[in-house]
Amino acid sequence: MEAWVISNIVTSLLLVSSVLVVLAVRRSRMWSEAMGSLWKRRPIAIGVVAFYLAIGILDSIYWVGGINAGEDVVSAHEAKSVIDRLFADSRERSYSAPLADVEFYGSAPLENPGWHLMGTDLIGRDVVYLAMKGVRVALLIGGLTSLIAIPLSLLFGISAGYFGGRVDDVVFFVMSTLASMPTLLLLIALIMAMGRSTVSICIALAVTSWVGFCRLVRGETLKLREQDYVQAARALGVSELQIILRHILPNLAHLVIITFVLTFSGLVLSEAVLAWLGVGVDGSWGQMIDQARSELSRDPVVWWNIAAAGLSLFGLLLAVNMVGDAIRDILDPRTLRESP
């Protein structure tokens, strides 16, 4: 199956499941109240996150054809996303400053004068378009990594905390082994060993980021195991699996959400450093920043590339961090104290 078909399927699955989650939240009083007060506290940040999400989704829906490619046979048969289609005729020949009418070096007139909000890059691509393409990469890094890391931490954290004994010893040993290696070096080592595809980068990020959450889950499970309702369930002969599913897991849900939001920004920041080391994901903002670095030493300075990438990155992380802070305050004011 081609990559764009998979992207379409995954996107629709995510959309369907988010509708289901919204319905579930509406039915539960606690969750709908929490979401209501979150909306009241951070309307702007939530709006910004929604804007990024919308761009990411528009860039994940692909289809072939329906584009005026002219003589270009190859691009007529290439799958394009909605974002690709919006910027289909935006190609120039080289650098142009934001909203300029002519090229930056020499003054050849542009194909689309005054149209490029953030100018164009070395080979004439619209910078706003490139920055928008980076949204999907950033969301993919944060999302896919969490999708790998969170179930893993829940599985190991709950079994270590709930069953204790040998299981706990083994999980604890694996955690302290992984935690003792310097994070960035471990990441690089894993990516170099596995090859640098998007999936292997996400796996490497997951390996380095699950430990912290697993430790948290283990600690919480240890506490929950001693609760009266768990003891009562055990006395009534409820099976271990039932206890975990009915009494432990729902009480960890808020931790999952908080950790997901708060680690998201860390993951995107790590990818920026990886991109600079040459082991990042293609098309990410980190890569844009890295490529634009030398442009600052040109004279006159070409600043719009790095500004667009930097601002997009900053905007997303700031919004996510604000939302994350608020979610933590609402759902859990006490137990969570993440380390810097």
Partner 1 sequence: MLAYVIRRLSYGGVVVLGVLFFLFVVFFWVATPDDIARRALGEKAPPEAIEQWKINHGYDRPLWPWQSLEDNMLFSHYESMLTFDFGRSDADDVPILEKIRTGAGPSLALTVPMFLLGLPLSVMLSLVVAVFRETYVDRMGVVLCVLGMSVSILLYIIGAQFLIAKLLRWFPISGFDPSPQVVMRFLSLPILVGIVSSIGSNVRFYRTVFLEEVHRDFVRTARAKGCGEARIMARHVLRNAMIPILTQVVIAIPFLFTGSLVLESFFGIPGLGALTVEAIQGNDFATLRTMVFVGALLFVVAQVLTDVSYSLADPRVRLE
State in angstroms the smallest separation of the CB of 193 from partner 1: 4
Q: Which residue has the tokens 């890391």?
A: 149
C-alpha–C-alpha distance, residues 13 and 8, integer Å:
9
CB of 224 to partner 1, least distance (A): 22
Q: Which is nearer to partner 1, 124 or 219 (CB)?
A: 219
For the bound state, the minimum distance from the C-beta of residue 195 to partner 1, rounded and expressed in Å, comes to: 9
Q: How far apart are the first and last CA of the chain?
A: 42
Phi, psi of 299 (to 5 degrees): -135, 115
Distance separating alpha carbons of residues 143 and 152, to the nearest angstrom:
14
Could you tell me which of 154, 149, 157 has the C-alpha nearest to residue 206? 149
Q: How far is the C-alpha of 127 from the C-alpha of 207, rounded, in Å?
A: 33
Smallest separation, CB 48 to partner 1 (Å): 12
Number of helices and strands in the chain (H, E): 14, 2
What does the alpha-carbon distance between residue 4 and residue 7 come to, in Å, rounded to a whole number? 5
Nearer to partner 1, 243 or 255 (CB): 255
Q: Considering beta carbons, is residue 25 or 277 the nearer one to partner 1?
A: 277
E-strand stretches of the chain: 62-64, 79-81
Nearer to partner 1, 217 or 262 (CB): 262
Pairing relationship of beta strands 62-64 and 79-81 according to DSSP bridges: antiparallel
For residues 65 and 195, which CB has a smaller minimum distance to partner 1 in the complex? 195
Give the residue with the Cβ less far from partner 1, 11 or 284: 284
Minimum distance from residue 66 beta carbon to partner 1 (Å): 37
**CB-count exposure of residue 125 (10 Å: 0-12, 13-18, 19+):** middle
**Nearest approach, Cβ of residue 121 and partner 1 (Å):** 17
Distance from C-alpha of 55 to C-alpha of 49, rounded to nearest angstrom: 10
Nearer to partner 1 by Cβ, of 173 and 229: the residue is 173
CB of 194 to partner 1, least distance (A): 6
314 within 8 A of 286, measured Cβ to Cβ: no
Q: Which backbone phi and psi does 62 adopt, to 5 degrees? A: -115, 150
Q: Identify which of residues 230 and 320 has a Cβ nearer to partner 1 in the complex.
A: 320
Beta carbon of residue 321, minimum distance to partner 1 (angstroms, whole number): 5
Report yes or no: 160 and 172 within 8 Å, Cβ to Cβ. Answer: yes
Residue type, 153: S
Binding positions for partner 1, rule: CB under 8 A: 173-174, 176-178, 180-182, 184-186, 188-190, 192-194, 265, 269, 272-273, 276-279, 286, 289-290, 293, 296-297, 306, 310, 313-314, 317-318, 321-322, 325, 337-340
